[in-house]
Amino acid sequence: MAFDKICLPESGEKITMGENGKLNVPDQPIVTFIEGDGTGRDIWRASKRVLDAAVEKAYGGSRKVAWMEVFAGEKAWNMYGQSDDAWLPQETLDAFSEYLIGIKGPLTTPIGGGITSLNVALRQKLDLYTCLRPVKYFDGVPSPVKRPEDVDMVIFRENSEDIYAGIEWAAGSEEVKKVVSFLQDEMGVTKIRFPDSSGIGVKPVSQEGTARLVRAAIQYAIDNNRESVTLVHKGNIMKFTEGGFRNWGYDVAKNEFGAEEIDGGPWCKLPNGIVIKDAIADIALQQVLTRAPEFDVIATLNLNGDYLSDALAAQVGGIGIAPGANINYNSGHAIFEATHGTAPKYADKDMVNPSSVVLSGEMMLRYMGWTEAADLILQGINGSIAAKTVTYDFHRQMEGATKLSTSEFGDAVIANMDSTGADSAEDQYDLLAARFKELFEAGAEKSGEVAQATMEKAREQLTAAGTFSEAQGKNLKAFLERDFSQMANTMRNEAKEKLNPSRVSAGALSSLSALLTVAGSALTSIAERTQKAVSCRSGEITSAGTLTCNACDHELHFKKTGRVPPCPKCHSTEFTKSY
């Protein structure tokens, strides 16, 4: 499919749904992303680096996500002509539809007027009927409750129906007058207390919609050895919508999973012992606090699920660490996103916790079957929290913690992914290159001078985050300057496509070549200043490429960032780099 403003990655293949209901995930899958409004920009930059690093560390270059940016929210509005349709362009929906899996930052929804929720629209238009929000405690996270470790719940929130579907009419409008007169005159409704000044909303809840959600929740409980599924509803008051949800939910358990009633019902038990029960929403909101161990998988309606997921997130440290996914288990379509919103007061301050999106990415990798990379992300987050290197939200409640920015926290997660992680100079070098790229891309001006100042800023930030010492950072920056200048030269002299980011492996080479591809001509001033041949010496770190021994012409091929050895043939220590 040809797009207007969406650029396909240079390489990568589609993820598809197999006939057997299992996803086919190639080694370079095209994955769509929306960076999001407000804090989404900072969060996405850090999260993408974490996800790429996890994949690189887990698979050493044999697997790599081919990211494809698609647009919604403010960015789309500005790009697609500032019309009503520009908030969520059709081609964004087409891209999600065609490429199956995506991840998004939060999008703003105005209160009481303006556009309806783009987040809800995406879920509805792609029929992502399950909103899956796991709520789990990470050791060491500050929490307002005594036993946060008791919270290990997985919310299955119905995502396409309910009062949340957005069927409503404003008070005083011609439409609401019609609805009110239909209700009063044709349906005999007498309970609208102030008919002339009421806005009216409609709450559709269907048997099919309930069944597919509860089916997914029970299947999840079976696949993941969980103990119970609780149907949370307000069926005592809203009998035919929320009460219907409860009854249809029990029907699925009995008719499709062979559940038998316990002591005359309504609770029942699956043949493997999983208990299916229900709880009325108000008391459920109390009991998830007071009797957390009694809740496991929760299946609930759209609005209850919205409230419950923010409330439960508070018990395990807050909305900064609350991931989620919107999934259609039949088609395979899935968009992963945090539970929180755009937190506008923190936008572009590089301040908020990126964990919710990082952990949404962890869920995405697991959904794709890339469990090794997903595990590394958990390891990285656990390690960062254990080291008390955290963002402001945790820092304000933790004694003796170090406060990190959004991007520094991303670095800390990467550094904690494995024990050798950023302890090795090679990884530290890759981190420095990635941070340099991130900062440079985020800035408006693309000159050689700005590149040099940005590299220094990247070094300072990573030194502050404890990724390396002052002295190590200065050394690594000198190596990076050398590689960058040398590549800027190569860029002028050799075919550009040779350095195309899609053709080079991850790590520093990938970061640098991405920068040079975007801003190549603007950066030639760097190359001009370093016309002299740039040598690599034994003991130094350098990005991937070919090193030719200056003494004997022997070639060393580096597939990823590495430390330069002495020439294996003549033991000389000076090399010239090419790609």
Ligand X SMILES: O=C(O)CCC(=O)C(=O)O
Pick from 241, 315, 339, 391: which binds ligand X (CB under 6 A)?
339
Smallest separation, CB 171 to ligand NDP (Å): 21
Pick from 92, 159, 315, 353: which binds ligand NDP (CB under 6 A)?
353
| Angstrom distance (rounded) from CA 213 to CA 233 | 14
Q: Which helix (H) or strand (E) holds 228?
A: strand 228-233
Non-local CB neighbours of 78 within 8 Å, separated by 6+ positions: 86
Smallest separation, CB 546 to ligand NDP (Å): 43
32 binds ligand NDP (CB under 6 A): no
Cβ-based nearer residue to Mg ion, 12 or 324? 324
Q: Which amino acid is at 329?
A: Y
> Does 579 carry a binding-site annotation?
no
Whether 500 and 513 have beta carbons less than 8 Å apart is answered as yes
> Does 571 carry a binding-site annotation?
no
> Does 191 carry a binding-site annotation?
no
Smallest separation, CB 340 to ligand X (Å): 8
Smallest separation, CB 76 to ligand X (Å): 15
What value, to the nearest 5°, has the Cα angle with vertex 503 and ends 499 and 504? Answer: 75
109 binds ligand X (CB under 6 A): yes
> Does 563 carry a binding-site annotation?
no
300 binds ligand X (CB under 6 A): no
Pick from 120, 218, 259, 301: which binds ligand X (CB under 6 A)?
120
306 binds ligand X (CB under 6 A): yes
SS3 per residue for 491-550: HHHCCHHHHCHHHCCCCHHHHHHHHHHHHCHHHHHHHHHCCCCCEEECCCEECCEEEEEC
Cβ-based nearer residue to Mg ion, 306 or 483? 306
Report the candidate in 428, 510, 381 with the shortest Cα–Cα distance to residue 67.
Answer: 510
Could you give the residue numbers annotated as active site? 164, 234, 282, 306
HSE-up (13 A, CA, CB side) for residue 61: 14
Cβ-based nearer residue to ligand X, 300 or 573? 300
Residue 345: count of CB within 10 angstroms of its CB: 10
385 binds ligand NDP (CB under 6 A): no
Pick from 352, 365, 432, 519: which binds ligand NDP (CB under 6 A)?
352
| Angstrom distance (rounded) from CA 233 to CA 473 | 56
What is the token pair recorded at 299?
């299946």
> Does 490 carry a binding-site annotation?
no
Pick from 119, 124, 241, 489: which binds ligand NDP (CB under 6 A)?
119
Smallest separation, CB 243 to ligand NDP (Å): 28
Phi, psi of 260 (to 5 degrees): -115, 145
Annotated binding site for NADP(+): 108, 340-346, 353, 392, 396
Q: Which residues bind to ligand NDP, rule: CB under 6 A?
A: 39, 106-109, 119, 318-320, 337, 340-343, 352-353, 356, 393
